[in-house]
Chain A
Amino acid sequence: MIASSLAIARKDLRLAFAGGQGPVQAVLLGLLLVFIFSLSAAPGEHFSAQQAMAIFWLCSSFGVVLIFSLLFRFEEENDTATALLLSPLPVQGLWLGKTLAGLILLLLCQVFFFPAALVFLGLDPGDNLSGLVLMVLAVDVGLCVLGGLIGAMGQGQGAKDALLTIIVFPLQVPLLLGGIRIGVGLMQGTAMAGVSDWFGLVLAFDAVFAGAALFLFPHVFRGE
């Protein structure tokens, strides 16, 4: 299953970058959000670490929606969903491949969001960069696990897939709170042990929804 998932992820990444576009839409939207929020502070004023992290995760959350909409649009545009279902690939492998591709694209977006938050929101990353990277990875996995499952529901729905965002955002709440709290803690010099509760929660989210997605994705994609 891993090999076929990697093949799906490679295929999706190639298609995403084929027109030289990649996740440009998600990056631009995120940068725009950071810029607009920066206008809410008076000149010379800085955002608190919590506000800055909240804006960073808001950009990532919007990015996930756009990224998975893009990834599932490939099958829709080329009418190849049936071909994938007929292939010997396990359906769960398809979800894993989409999730992996989404994770890589989201990390790519965040490469732009983070410096933008440093510049426009005055975010101070502190010294624990490895901890921050670990936190971003843990939260991103959860966002993409959920994105891969919900994104499949929007496939073939036309404009209706935008409606799915109204359920995606509230479902992401525990992850986003975790991302904000861990990020603020690490940037303010708290040791990893001090944010272990939040890490546990984020990892629990990843595990619960990954398990659920493995079981539920075939129902969504194949309608079985």
Chain B
Amino acid sequence: MFRIYPKILTILACISMALMAIGQYAIWFHAPEEMTMGLVQKIFYFHLPLAWWSFVAFFGVCAASVMVLWTGREQWDVLAGVLAEIGVLFSGLALVTGSLWGRAAWNTWWTWDPRLSTTLVMWFVYAGYLVLRSADVGGTKGAKVRAVLGIVAFLDVPLVFLSARLWRSIHPAVLASKGGGLEPEMWTAVWINVLAWGAMFGTLVLARYHGAGLKRRVEAALIGIQEKTLQ
């Protein structure tokens, strides 16, 4: 297993807490209130970082899965599982915040939009991936089977996005050439929150990974105790 030092985890957790606090200040006090949507627009500062980091997590699942096939080492399999958990959590929150935004901006809880639909389909795929992991599908070949699923799932992302875009779209282009209609203070709040959620993402991944390592050590110790008892 990768070695995670608890001190590093504590420091990263403190950094992410501080960044989160600064992010909240930037959202509520620094960034101006949007003229048309008012306070509801503040959802955007949560929605965008959550969506971006969930895609980073899903890419991480694919990369870790490639490493499983390449090296055959268990830690990459564990890392893929951890990243999928965090990705599903973040994309789930992004879907909820997106839905709240949609209700206020477009008067609908849900619409067939490339980004929303891609996120929803990915949420289904990776939630399914987690269910398969917990059910230990694959038996003795489990790690390889999970790795193949992790790669196949990510290959689907661009195809789902393209198909949803061909279907139809009303999502605002956030990173359009004219800055998506955001004031400079709004952009500052966006980037601080992207950073804060990134730190939170890193903390959660390390914490879960550390937990998985501890779980394996306990399991190994239990097996050792059982063997000694049998002798």
Query: Which A residues are within 8 Å of any B CB, using their own CB?
Result: 146, 149-150, 153-154, 156-157, 160-161, 163-164, 166-167, 169-171, 173-174, 177-178, 181, 197-198, 201, 204-205, 208-209, 212, 216, 219-220, 223-224
Contacts and interface: CB of A to CB of B under 8 A. Distances in A.
B144 A220 contact: yes
Contact of A149 (B148, B163, B166): B148
A167 B128 contact: yes
Contact of A156 (B132, B139, B147, B166): B139
Given A167-B129, A181-B166, A197-B166, A212 B155 contact: yes
Interface string B121-150: 100110111011001111111001101110
Contact of A174 (B127, B138, B162): B162
Given A157-B139, A171-B156, A212 B125 contact: no
Contact of A216 (B152, B159, B160): B152
Interface of B: 69, 121, 124-125, 127-129, 131-132, 135-141, 144-145, 147-149, 151-153, 155-156, 159-160, 162-164, 166-167
Given A174-B160, A220-B144, A224-B144, 19 more contacts: A153-B145, A153-B148, A157-B138, A157-B139, A160-B136, A160-B137, A163-B131, A166-B124, A167-B129, A170-B121, A170-B124, A171-B152, A174-B162, A177-B166, A198-B166, A212-B151, A216-B69, A216-B148, A216-B151
A171 B153 contact: yes
A204 B137 contact: no
Chain A interface SS verdict (over half): helix
A85 to B, nearest CB: 12
A219 B144 contact: yes
Nearest to A216: B148
Contacts of B125: 167, 170-171
A170 B117 CA distance: 11
B152 A212 contact: yes
Contact of A163 (B121, B132, B153): B132
Nearest to B166: A197
A204 B159 contact: yes
B136 to A, nearest CB: 8
Nearest to B148: A216
Contacts of B162: 174, 201, 204
Nearest to B117: A173
